[in-house]
Structure 1
Amino acid sequence: MATPRPFDAVLCDFDGVIRFHDQTELAELERAAGLAEGATTKVVFAPEVGLPALLGQITVEQWQDAAEAALARQVPPERARALVTAFMKTPTRVDEDVLGLLRRAQAHLPVVLVTNATLDLEDDLAWLGLAHFADEVVSSARVGATKPSLRIYEIAAERAGVPAHRCLFVDDRMENVEAARALGMTAVLFTGVPDLEAALTPLLG
């Protein structure tokens, strides 16, 4: 008798699990501006600046303008512009090991991306060659809800076509993992490829 599957869909975060950003240049610019490393990111994702972009209420260009204005309270406007531009153009890479595991999982069940993202997500996926990778993509900017709001998890399960308690959810932020668990999902905090390997072992063997 075959062993029952432990779950019927994989819901996976994008940034911090599949895509990673190299902020070396940004950190150098922050030091030159007398700012602590991470100061730009903190401003860019402050709720009053970043949330409208992640909810699809403003464009990335409008988000950049808002971030520059907010950062200009700490540094001269030209430095604020350079810092935010560096943030927006941060070099990225895709973890091929993670993609390989997810592609193996797709042979058995749907894989759905669930991500807090801007209206540019589709362009980003296409640029990375991932436009047709996931079975479904649930972007906060398209559905009007961000993680850890329970609604975005409910939408993802609906798109996968399975009940929430039959979903495996993978994310690199604990608050997002805890929200998934609150809906009855099997949820894993991603700190590296071994976490995903361990989560998928019951499925892949």
Structure 2
Amino acid sequence: MTIRGRAFDAVLTDLDGVIRFYDMAELEQLERSAGLPEGSTAEVAFRPETDLPLMRGEITKERWIESIADGLADRVPWARGHELGTTLAETKFRADDVVVGLLRKVRAAGLPVLLVTNATPWLADDLALLGLTGPDGFLDGVISSADLGVAKPDRRMYETAAERAGAAPGRCLFVDDREENVDAAVALGMTGLLYREPADLQAALAPLL
């Protein structure tokens, strides 16, 4: 049901790069020790052929780590690549308190807030650690690629999110830090926000709050 006077009826948001951020210092130190440029492990880990099977829930964490080691095998010994992959998989993370605060205000104003994320099969554990679910959580739903078997920018991710939010696509605000994901949402009629900093989200949410 459309809420009269509202700019949107639901907020759909990405996780990584919007809410969650990683501390890469330990991994970067290991890469330097191995004689690799910083970012080498992530470059291999997030290639589509390495990353997408994990995001679609088709492989385990250990198999993903092994794939990273395989991808680094021409530059470092396989055991070192496995160590780098394990460190990446276990990297510490935090939630952006400003973004979380804004989304809590949206929820307090009576609008559903749903997470729409290309995620690992252990997403539920991560969300609990971040305090986004459980007694202190505020999410009305989680649309995970690992559960759905498809990943953004596949339109099924967005259609499922709008359906679970109980809102027409044209009444949804979609927030993501990747342009292709925002473009896919806009193509379905959603309002898209290409996220770069909390001020972007604050401006987009101003009509709601």
**Residues 105-148 of structure 1: CA deviation (Å, up to 9, x unaligned):** 01221000000001100011112222242100000000111111
The structure 2 residue matched to 1:114, chosen from 113, 116, 120, is 116
Match of 1:41 in 2: 42
Residues in 1 aligned to 2:55 and 2:154: alpha-carbon distance in whole angstroms: 13
Match of 1:102 in 2: 103
Show the 5 A alignment for 1:7-86.
7-86=8-87
Percent identity between the aligned chains? Answer: 56
What residue identity is the alignment partner of 1:164?
P
Residues in 1 aligned to 2:48 and 2:19: alpha-carbon distance in whole angstroms: 24
User: Structure 1 residue 42: deviation in Å?
Assistant: 1.2
Show the 5 A alignment for 1:140-155.
140-155=145-160
Residues in 2 aligned to 1:3 and 1:110: alpha-carbon distance in whole angstroms: 15
Residues in 2 aligned to 1:51 and 1:36: alpha-carbon distance in whole angstroms: 24
**Residues 64-123 of structure 1: CA deviation (Å, up to 9, x unaligned):** 122222222321112202211111111111111111100110122100000000110001
Deviates more, 1:123-132 or 1:96-105: 123-132
The structure 2 residue matched to 1:164, chosen from 149, 153, 169, is 169
What residue identity is the alignment partner of 1:55?
R
Deviates more, 1:102-111 or 1:59-68: 59-68
Match of 1:88 in 2: 89
Residues in 2 aligned to 1:26 and 1:120: alpha-carbon distance in whole angstroms: 20
Deviates more, 1:69-78 or 1:11-20: 69-78
Residues in 2 aligned to 1:119 and 1:39: alpha-carbon distance in whole angstroms: 24
Gaps of 5+ in 2: none
RMSD value over aligned CA atoms? 1.4
Residues in 2 aligned to 1:77 and 1:58: alpha-carbon distance in whole angstroms: 19
Residues in 2 aligned to 1:140 and 1:29: alpha-carbon distance in whole angstroms: 30
User: Structure 1 residue 3: deviation in Å?
Assistant: 7.0
User: Normalising by the residue count of structure 2, what TM-score does the alignment of the two structures yield?
Assistant: 0.93
Secondary structure of the residue aligned to 2:143 is strand
Match of 2:126 in 1: 124
What residue identity is the alignment partner of 2:111?
L
User: Structure 1 residue 174: deviation in Å?
Assistant: 1.1
Matched, 1:180 2:182: no
Match of 2:203 in 1: 198
Deviates more, 1:67-76 or 1:92-101: 67-76
Residues in 2 aligned to 1:3 and 1:65: alpha-carbon distance in whole angstroms: 52
Residues in 2 aligned to 1:68 and 1:159: alpha-carbon distance in whole angstroms: 38
User: Normalising by the residue count of structure 1, what TM-score does the alignment of the two structures yield?
Assistant: 0.94
